[in-house]
Structure 1
Amino acid sequence: MLLNPHHSHISTTTMDTKMCRVLGHAIAVLFLSTSLASAACNKDDLKALLSFNSSFPPRTLYNWIDTEDCCSWDGIYCDDGTGRVTSLLFSNDDFNDFDPIDLVGRMPPSVGDLSELVDIRFSTLPNLVGPLPRQLSKLKKLKTINIYNTNLSGPIPSFLSQLPALERLDMSASQFTGSIPPSLGSLAKLRYVDLSRNGLTGSVPPSLFSRLDRSALATLNLRQNKLAGAVPRSFASVAFGGIDLHENRLTGDARFLFGKSKPATSIDLAQNKLSFDLTDVEYPVGNLDYLDVSHNEIHGSISEQIKEATKLSYLDMSYNMLCGRIPSGGSFGNISSRDFSHNKCLCGTPLPPCKN
């Protein structure tokens, strides 16, 4: 059967068009894959990192070689599209995904030249000493500071209030002293503060979380410091998911931290000098899992309403001045006598029966 020449011409043209389309698609895919490949380390960041490296003894950061892409170095994470360094993470914790690193000396000022940094972590580094460098205040995109279990010392610097993007501040288990700067309250996005296990003194600033959106959950951990004075009444309007003031020298009333509709999962006020009447306190029933008010001067009785906190798995009210019958039923079936011991006149299960 003879083909119509005109028809043959159309078929050939169609085939050529299809081939062009396939070839064009292949070129587009190749171009796209090339454009999506990780960009090389930015030259300004490379310069800052080499300066950072030179501040420590030779071979500390043994795979930091200036002829290689710095985005492949231990502790460095970059934005794939721009090659800018976004995270500086040095951790000897168990979850660390690179070989242990012992940073000996001070945190170098050159860290402030990594202008796109979003996340800094220096944890379990006992030979990292000295104060935080003021150059950190240059990092306007920084969201997270995690400095845990180091020997960094000096005051909590007020220049941290110059970091408008800061959301999480963890400077725990180190050697920081002095007072908590009230200027931290100017940070509108700061929702997580852990300054526990330091040597902090003075009072808790009422300004903390004052600019945080009232719908945002806040976390505050000031455990094991030497803080004194009253718990700020301004905290009554903060939506704490968790608050830990354990082992300080705080005094006065803290009833405003409680409330039936509050979102708290954990409240730890133990080992202070707090003094208030517990009788009419309402407990966060929706989420409360952990409550420790032991070793204070709290008086009154325990409301039956606490039984509505059905998620409560840990409770300690020992070493206070509480009286009256302990609520029974609900989660209280798993509470031991030591959790109510050394009070003025509590009675009922798990303590001896009430006399009337």
Structure 2
Amino acid sequence: MESTRSSTIFTFSINLLLIFLTLFSAAASEAAAACNKKDESALLAFKSSFRYSSLTSWSRSTDCCSSWDFVGCDSASGRVTSLRFYNDYDMSEYIFLNGSIPAAIGDLSELERVEFSRISSLEGPIPPQLSKLKKLQSLQIYQTQVSGPVPNFLSELTSLKELQIGYNRLSGPIPASLGNLVHLTSLTLYGNQLTGTVPASLFSKLPKGSLATLVLSKNKLTGTIPKSFARVPFSNLYLDDNKLTGDALFLFGKSKPIVQINLARNSLAFDFGKAAFPVSTNYIDISHNEIYGSIPNGIAKLPNLNYFDVNSNKLCGKIPSGGMLVSPAENYANNKCLCGEPLQPCK
């Protein structure tokens, strides 16, 4: 009798649990599939702005959160939080977006991430409607035909942490207003046609305890590197392939968190023998400048350094030895009087 009653209670409990799990699963599934209608309309307007596109899955007959390509949603609210259009390097699934970034993107108010990468059919300027996206944390426009200036209104993206606009056709100066972005830790503008000086305001409001990444390579920037950068804790700093002049010694120091620094192919001039480096440094390229002095002995003691290039400067003296780093002779060539391995012995 007791055994029968226990078995009945157990069976009832199992059935109750199964009912609960079924109801929970159905509710969760329904919530995840609930595409916000305003977002759906904005996405369809986004699609219609292109002359032709790869957005064939975008249709009112299906749910934008569960069935539309390139769209990411918050599962609880059904709001669109990400748009990611990117082609792999091998172009195995080629995405077409023929036209400009549509103004309708500004109506997707919950967006946190936007990416257009390796979309060669994308052109035109960056639309001002992007400034409406107050929750946007990451904006990437990489290897497209997007042109025009780097707009001032990007400083209105008050939640932005990462701004990457590389290998496009942007021109004009870098807006000083980008320094007002209080959450920004990574700024990449390489491979454009940017002119003018590097704004001293960049990362002036860097979040406390954060490290900064700045990549301005392959532009037409002129003038000196801002002295204010001496106070910025850069982990990665790429200023190569510009027309920068003057001193850059203040970027170096044992207390700085620099991991990678590239100043190559500018017209910088300073005494490299006075430079110091933290143990975290693994990449140094100062080649093709007018840098003088000697190579600091501390270079040979950096435990993580795997790339070092001082080619085509005005350096002199014995190349430090005894460390783990082994650089080819061309990385030391075309200097005033460097000697020692891997170059000719010192006399």
Question: Do both proteins adopt the same fold according to a TM-score greater than 0.5, normalized to the shorter chain?
Answer: yes
Q: 1:44 to 1:122 in 2, by over 3 A?
A: same
3-state SS of paired residue (1:212): coil
Aligned to 1:320: 313
d(CA) in 1 for partners of 2:18, 2:328 = 71
Aligned to 1:221: 215
Of 295, 298, 301, 1:308 maps to 301
My pick for the range that moved more, 212-221 or 295-304, is: 212-221
**Partner deviation per Cα, 1:17-72 (whole Å, 9 max, x = no partner):** 55554443222212221222223211001000110111112564222112111122
Aligned to 2:332: 340
Q: Is the 8 A contact 1:91 1:122 kept in 2?
A: yes
Aligned to 1:112: 106
d(CA) in 1 for partners of 2:44, 2:227 = 48
Aligned letter for 1:185?
Answer: G
2:72 corresponds to 1:77: yes
Aligned to 2:122: 128
Q: Is the 8 A contact 2:184 2:203 kept in 1?
A: yes
Q: 1:289 to 1:58 in 2, by over 3 A?
A: closer
Q: 1:74 to 1:99 in 2, by over 3 A?
A: farther
3-state SS of paired residue (1:70): coil
My pick for the range that moved more, 131-140 or 259-268, is: 259-268
2:85 corresponds to 1:90: yes
My pick for the range that moved more, 140-149 or 345-354, is: 345-354
Q: Is the 8 A contact 1:318 1:338 kept in 2?
A: yes
Aligned letter for 1:73?
Answer: W
Aligned to 1:4: none
d(CA) in 1 for partners of 2:321, 2:246 = 29
Q: Is the 8 A contact 1:215 1:239 kept in 2?
A: no
Q: Is the 8 A contact 1:214 1:237 kept in 2?
A: no
**Partner deviation per Cα, 1:267-290 (whole Å, 9 max, x = no partner):** 100000111111111022x22111
Q: CA deviation at 1:342?
A: 0.9
Aligned to 1:329: 322
Aligned letter for 1:88?
Answer: L
My pick for the range that moved more, 228-237 or 140-149, is: 228-237
Q: CA deviation at 1:215?
A: 2.1
Which segments of 5 or more consecutive residues in structure 1 lack a partner in the other structure?
1-7
RMSD: 1.9
Aligned letter for 1:116?
Answer: E
Aligned to 1:282: 276
d(CA) in 1 for partners of 2:9, 2:54 = 60
* Identity level (%): 48
Q: Is the 8 A contact 1:214 1:239 kept in 2?
A: no
Q: CA deviation at 1:262?
A: 2.1
3-state SS of paired residue (1:177): strand
Q: 1:177 to 1:59 in 2, by over 3 A?
A: closer
d(CA) in 2 for partners of 1:273, 1:195 = 20
Aligned to 1:3: none
User: What is the correspondence of 1:126-275 to structure 2 with a 5 Å cutoff?
Assistant: 126-275=120-269
Q: Is the 8 A contact 1:214 1:238 kept in 2?
A: no
Aligned to 1:5: none
Q: Is the 8 A contact 1:164 1:189 kept in 2?
A: yes
Q: Is the 8 A contact 2:277 2:298 kept in 1?
A: yes
**Partner deviation per Cα, 1:244-303 (whole Å, 9 max, x = no partner):** 10110111111111111322221100000111111111022x221111001111111111
| TM-score between the two structures when normalised by the length of structure 1 | 0.92
| TM-score between the two structures when normalised by the length of structure 2 | 0.94
d(CA) in 2 for partners of 1:227, 1:180 = 9
**Partner deviation per Cα, 1:94-129 (whole Å, 9 max, x = no partner):** 488x94221111110000111111111101111211
d(CA) in 2 for partners of 1:172, 1:276 = 29
Which segments of 5 or more consecutive residues in structure 2 lack a partner in the other structure?
none
3-state SS of paired residue (1:227): strand
Q: 1:339 to 1:11 in 2, by over 3 A?
A: closer
My pick for the range that moved more, 268-277 or 334-343, is: 334-343
Q: Is the 8 A contact 2:52 2:97 kept in 1?
A: no
Q: 1:338 to 1:35 in 2, by over 3 A?
A: same
d(CA) in 1 for partners of 2:33, 2:316 = 67
**Structure with larger Rg:** 1
3-state SS of paired residue (1:125): coil
